[in-house]
Amino acid sequence: MLEQRATWGRCMEPTSGMNSKPLTPELAQMVQNLPSSLLGIIDWFEGKGHFVWIVGGAVRNALLEIPIIEYDLATTMVPEEMKEYPDMIPTGEKFGTITFRSEGDFYEITTLRTEKGYGDGRRPDEVEWGLSLTVDLSRRDLSMNSMALDVNKSVYYDPYGGFEDLQRNRICAVGEPKSRLSEDALRILRTYRFMDQGLAGVWKPERGLSNALRTTRSMLSKIAPERIWSELKRILLGKNASIILQRMADDGILRQIFDSDWMLDDYRISKLDSVEGDDVLDRLVVLLRDVPSQMCETIARTMKLSNQEKKTLLFRHSCLGHIPELLDSNLRIHQYVLGDWAQQHLRIESLFAPMNHGSHSSDDIQQRISRNEGLNTSDNSKSLATGEWIMAQTNMHQGPKLGALKNWLHREQIARNLTSLEQIETLLCTLSWHEDEFNHWPKLQFPSQTV
């Protein structure tokens, strides 16, 4: 069967009935700049008597004249044959995908295929190797992603009008929109992601696709949370995230993902584009502002955030709505506890200052940002007073009271910018550490227990 299939790959014309088009200037430029590692792989397929095309995002990005992130290829060669390549990884052999490594670069290459049935709304029930490029492109999500380029023939194929849709800033499904989205519900989020075209603005889906996004949203419950988070991260970091997320809220998509309601012109969503930097957790914490901490934890767990992502998100969420007093001591504690995120925290707070009803204004926050920049702090933030030293000074035994005093001394060390153990010893003489109510002693934390 394999030998027969290989013969088919050499004898049959997979582009039969398709209209080839000469390369546009943008595509010609892409071909001219292809990495040598990719050209070597293309030559390997040609030498084996098989067809191979660059497909999907690389062709789309080239036509849009935006950076190409990766090159994916489609071929008439089946996985078993591709495994003859000297440096390959069978990453998705079951679904026809083999990863080739060349000159340190990695390329995913997938056999032409047809798919039957999507009973779970996530993956095809059955995959068969195909011999038609048209059929293979027909199973893709959007017309802009359904183009293929033949490097050696210097032509490209666009059976579903992707180039024209790109020219018209239009997002269209391949075939019937509801059916296409139902095959893999993650395509719902991918469609919203493609609406954000960065500096080119926001593109709108055609009416049928727009309606299908709303009617198929319940199918997102069938998608693995980590796949949803992977797409949502890219949407949150988009140039026009506020517009896209608000549309997702209006269409009921965010309700489906977070199990919570969102307002028209939601004030949190409106601030997303004003968040500085590219830390996606900053965007997410702004989106979840005013969500109860327990619900925030549930969302982090449900979305399958990594342990570090979850820890960071919950800590930053706990800081929202709090700012340090305009005193050097409080600002030093704020800087120590929040670390590199201290200034970003204040910048995020400034975004919401108009909604704080007078509790702290934009000017209040800007004063803290400016004062932080010139704050005199010691390079040594490690606690100078060890447990052994404190026991020697106080005759205190090991236990929670000793830990509370150590934390208190460390807090004062940071707040007062103390740099020597002699200064700590002088400070110890002024503290009321003899009392037993140590649970109320000041702690090195932000927000403080008194806020």
- pLDDT tens digits along 139-156: 899 999 999 999 999 999
Please say if the pLDDT value at position 29 is more than 90.
yes
Please say if the pLDDT value at position 359 is more than 90.
no
| Per-residue model confidence (pLDDT) at position 414 | 96
What's the rounded mean pLDDT across residues 394-408?
95
Measure the CA–CA gap between 243 and 202, rounded to whole angstroms: 8
- Check residues 380 and 97 and name the one with the higher pLDDT: 97
Confidence of residue 380 (pLDDT cuts 50, 70, 90): confident
Phi and psi at residue 97, in whole multiples of 5°? -110, 125
Measure the CA–CA gap between 195 and 234, rounded to whole angstroms: 12
Strands 52-55 and 72-75, by their bridges, are antiparallel
Highest mean pLDDT among 4-8, 252-256, 375-379: 252-256
| DSSP state, residue 326 | S
pLDDT digits (tens, 9 = 90+) for 156-184: 999 999 999 999 999 999 999 999 999 99
Cis ω for the linkage preceding 447 (within 30 of 0): yes
* Number of continuous H segments (helices) and E segments (strands) in the chain: 23, 12
Measure the CA–CA gap between 257 and 224, rounded to whole angstroms: 11
Q: Where are the beta strands (DSSP E) in 291-426?
A: none
| Per-residue model confidence (pLDDT) at position 448 | 81
Measure the CA–CA gap between 405 and 419, rounded to whole angstroms: 18
**The two three-digit tokens of residue 194, written as one number:** 């493609």
pLDDT digits (tens, 9 = 90+) for 235-253: 999 999 999 999 999 999 9
| Per-residue model confidence (pLDDT) at position 450 | 45
Measure the CA–CA gap between 162 and 159, rounded to whole angstroms: 8
User: Which residues touch 237 (CB under 8 Å, ≥6 apart)?
Assistant: 278, 280, 283
Mean pLDDT of the chain: 92
Please say if the pLDDT value at position 443 is more than 50.
yes
What's the rounded mean pLDDT across residues 297-309?
95
What's the length of the chain? Answer: 451
Q: Where are the beta strands (DSSP E) in 297-350?
A: none
pLDDT digits (tens, 9 = 90+) for 279-296: 999 999 999 999 999 999
Is the pTM above the cut of 0.85? yes
